[in-house]
Amino acid sequence: MRILFGSICLLFLLNGCGLLNKANAPGTADAPISTKRASSKAKAHGYESFITKEAISQKGLLDVHQVGTKYYFEIADSILNREILVVTRFAKTPAGSGNYGGEEIGKKTITFEKGPQNNIFLRIGTLVSIVDEDDSISRAVNNSNITPILEAFDVKARNDKKKTSLIEVTDFINGESTLLSLNEGQKESYRLSSLEKDKSYIQKITTFPINTEVRTVKTYKAKTTGKKKKELPAAILSGVVTLELNSSFILLPKVPMGKRYYDERVGYFASSYLEYGDDQQKVDRNTFIHRWRLEPKTEDIEKWKNGELVEPKKPIIFYIDPATPKKWRPYLIKGINDWQSAFEQAGFKNAIVGKEWPIDNSSISLEDARFSVLRYFASPKKNAYGPNITDPRSGEILESHIGWYHNLMSLLHNWYTIQAGAVDERARSMEFEPELMGELIRFVSSHEVGHTLGLRHNMGASHATPVEKLRDAEWLKKNGHTSSIMDYARFNYVAQPEDSIPPKELMPRIGDYDKWAIQWGYGKLPDIEGLDDEREILNRWVVDSIASNPRLWFGGEGRDFDPRSQTEDLGDNAMVASTYGIMNLQRIVPRLTDWTKARNSDDYSNLDEIYESLVKQYENYLFHVAKNIGGIYVTPRTMGESGEVYCPVPKSQQKEALVFLNNHIFKEPKWLINNEILNKTASPQSKESITKTMETVLLNLMGGSRMSRMTFISERYQDEDVYTPEQYIDDLNQLIWGEMNVFYKTTAYRRKLQKAYVSNMIALYKPNEAEGVVEGILAKLSEGYTANTDVRSLALHNLTTLQRKIKGTLSVINHRMTKAHLLYLQKEIEEVIGETQDPGNFFIPANPDLSIEEGEGED
């Protein structure tokens, strides 16, 4: 038998996790026992003096009695020492808070146990380790672990016949327990201070067979400073803030679900704890994935083992909040049901179902933790999220409350207009037809439900698709434009108008990775001898599956230096994909004024908003490309696999990225500076803003992290043809300074580019000499990365060489602003490194692999 100590489970990438024994459908079967007057025939000594004839009582997980304004829990001995998960959520929130009913506040595992002096302790579980009680080391683990006692309740009465203990919980529930209210950090975010007890009360407590629901109203005194932007309207008007909270006490299974071990090559959320044993030579970390308990019905087990599709004992059911506009409910339900095909690959049919909430059943609530609900929030936020609540002992997902913000439709509209407007004429208006918006909602619904099933983002999924296949209608029909709906691969922006791609193939859908991941997490494993056999089987499954189908590769949630794993990108080559994307943006810009006109009486705010979204999309393309420079491919492997875990991005691909950036940002993107738009809007995405984009890209390219990484790569892979920092700086110089000659004539944009280059180079050489906000950021980032590296030496050499080049060119330049510009830069460099007396050889050799053109003259 194993002993669990402690549920501060170490969570991997929390985007949501879930709970237990959910009712398949809300209804009378699991409704609370009808309230009744307590019987006067109770035999327990002293019981009648508390639970009088006036008591209103309910039976359930915790029997609940209300006597006037007092509330009592009657706790059965069978519940003592059983683990109970407590999930607290907002039920109603004050206007302007940024939170909404149904959103989670916190979750903790508790136990009730008998104390030494006729009392009952409530302990908070802190699961950090596990041990077999038959092992000698269990004594050491036991001696090193004790869980905190949050509350001690006097036992008011015993009912020995029922084997129950009666405790009063009125003050505990009405108080500021961290179990049932906001923590200090959350109170601080709302700027709340003390609880106003006379304005706080228990609204109702409802109990069910496996859960007890506590609804409270809590009023806090608010800290007011007169700075209205940082304070809630309620605080400004009254000095207090009132919240309505719901806490669900859910009994965890007596026998935890069997765990499935975590593998970083398959994208699941996970929990872990330390495992001790007498036979160990080091402590093991037991890490397991989050998943629902899907089991075949007893009569179908043999069919399931033989590969036949069977229905699970308890399917996963999601209910749609009745506050959801009716016309969007069918699309949300379709998004939920789309996962049925994935579960069929794991051997289950009808494993997940979306349903309308039964509004006629008043005995249940949307906050009831037995039910998973998609909650719809009347909010200006542009977002949705898919959490899951889990049993910390096993990773079993027990329930989920998906959060859906009404204004998400605005974000979907803008994305689709910018990414698909060049090829789908339905995207060329400010209000989409319901069918189109419905399909956009459906895809996001599927994505968020994926998180509730345990799946993390797979930002590398889009890399599995060759760029040119994104223009192939037949290929897209079969495969989709990304292998996983869990990627941030929104819409197919690579498709060109002449490709005649059907609109259906512009949108993401559940792909082959998603189906395989569900099979890996939920499918039946062969009969096994022990845990080591299970690990071997799961490992072999991953190795063989990815080897036979590379589209099943999990690319992580955006690995730091791996250009294959990026958000919002498409295809296996960012330079080619981004070129196609920019071609479509160039088609869209001249038409934006017409597309954003709804009525003659409208102002230009729509145009402003959509143009800003377009510029953001353009910036995405630039940074997708930039990540290739100094990039490292990271491919997790086990000892039985062939191939390297770490591999630098090929030199030719990095050079290709630099050429792209030269063509699309070092040279002014004049197509984006559309005066017809800029003269009609107050958009921050003006000509000056494009300059800021250029400066940000250059800051990114010359950061100390990238330069130090390239230095490390060149030292580690000395026998390979890698892109060294010296070669990179030479190429960057060639693109930015190579046209400097007797006929040299700069534009305003080019001068800003060169100023940014010099500032960044100074920051690399002497971080403490950097000035200004941007330079200060770079200096701060560079200082830690470049200390005692060759990067600073290279920066000094480059500044010296550039100083000589400027000095040797100044005497032959006639263009006034160009000459003034170079004099300024010469002075900037001189203040840092002093004056170089010998002009020396300032020639930077031309690189035939890089495309440059002469600078354009200024008008």
What does the buried/exposed string (b/e) look like for 40-51 if buried means 16 or more CB atoms within 10 Å of the residue's CB? eebebeebbebb
Residue 73: CB partners within 8 Å, gap ≥ 6? 62, 63, 64, 166, 167, 169, 212
What is the number of alpha carbons within 13 Å of residue 159 lying toward its C-beta?
20
Task: Give the pLDDT confidence score for residue 555 in this predicted structure.
Answer: 94
What does the buried/exposed string (b/e) look like for 777-805 if buried means 16 or more CB atoms within 10 Å of the residue's CB? ebbebbbebbeeebbbebbbebbbbbbbb
Residue 837: CB partners within 8 Å, gap ≥ 6? none
Task: Give the pLDDT confidence score for residue 687 in this predicted structure.
Answer: 67
754 CA to centre of own chain: 37
Q: How far is the C-alpha of 52 from the C-alpha of 792, rounded, in Å?
A: 82
3-state secondary structure 486-551: CCCCCCCCCCCHHHCCCHHHHCCCCCHHHHHHHHHHHCCCCCCCCHHHHHHHHHHHHHHHHHHCHH
Take residue 493 and report the two structure tokens written for it: 């922006």
How much helix, strand and coil, in percent to the nearest 5, is found in the chain? 40, 20, 40
Q: How far is the C-alpha of 472 from the C-alpha of 678, rounded, in Å?
A: 36
What's the DSSP call for residue 800? H
What is the number of alpha carbons within 13 Å of residue 57 lying toward its C-beta?
16
Task: Give the pLDDT confidence score for residue 296 in this predicted structure.
Answer: 95
Q: How far is the C-alpha of 234 from the C-alpha of 228, rounded, in Å?
A: 11
Q: Coil, helix or strand for 114?
A: strand
Residue 308: CB partners within 8 Å, gap ≥ 6? 300, 347
Mean pLDDT by 10 residues, the chain (859 residues): 42 35 42 46 66 92 95 96 92 83 87 93 70 48 65 93 94 91 84 90 92 94 69 80 93 92 94 68 77 95 92 97 97 98 97 95 81 93 92 92 95 98 97 97 98 97 97 97 97 98 96 98 81 85 94 90 96 98 97 90 89 95 97 92 92 98 96 87 68 94 91 88 95 91 84 95 81 48 68 94 91 90 95 69 51 39
810 CA to centre of own chain: 52
Residue 499: CB partners within 8 Å, gap ≥ 6? 423, 471, 472, 473
Task: Give the pLDDT confidence score for residue 238 in this predicted structure.
Answer: 83
The burial of 474, by beta-carbon neighbours within 10 Å (0-12 exposed, 13-18 middle, 19 or more buried), is given as: exposed
> Which helix (H) or strand (E) is 123 found in, with range?
strand 119-124
Cβ(130)–Cβ(3) below 8 Å: yes
What is the largest distance, in Å, between two alpha-carbon atoms of the chain? 111
Per-domain residue ranges of the chain: 35-118+155-251, 622-833
What's the DSSP call for residue 406? T
What's the DSSP call for residue 116? S
Neighbours of 345 (CB within 10 A): 18
Q: How far is the C-alpha of 692 from the C-alpha of 622, rounded, in Å?
A: 13
Residue 671: CB partners within 8 Å, gap ≥ 6? 586, 589
Task: Give the pLDDT confidence score for residue 788 in this predicted structure.
Answer: 79
Task: Give the pLDDT confidence score for residue 849 in this predicted structure.
Answer: 56
